[in-house]
Amino acid sequence: MDEAPTVRTVCHGCRQVTHLRSDEDVIRPMVLPGSGTVWVDKASGGMVEAPCPVCGDDEDPGWVDGFVPPV
């Protein structure tokens, strides 16, 4: 029996969310792949950009094979 193909989907760690307005004037959230970086609070009020702990070391950051984000 053949295995199902691996689905590539956005990384939950660094994903971005925007909203899409359909032709029926319905607004729905749309998940976009992230940049492979996250903002981390290193000191009081000191935010720094760091590689995403889930996908930041990948050649194509922002995507993860076989991962399905929660609904």
CA distance 45 to 32: 27
The domain ranges of the chain are 8-65
Two tokens at 4? Answer: 């199902």
Q: Record the pTM.
A: 0.62
Q: Which long-range contacts (CB under 8 A, 24 or more apart) does 54-60 make?
A: 54/11, 54/12, 54/13, 54/14, 55/11, 55/13, 55/14, 56/14
Tens-place pLDDT, residues 9-67: 888 888 888 899 989 999 998 888 888 999 988 877 788 999 999 888 888 888 887 76
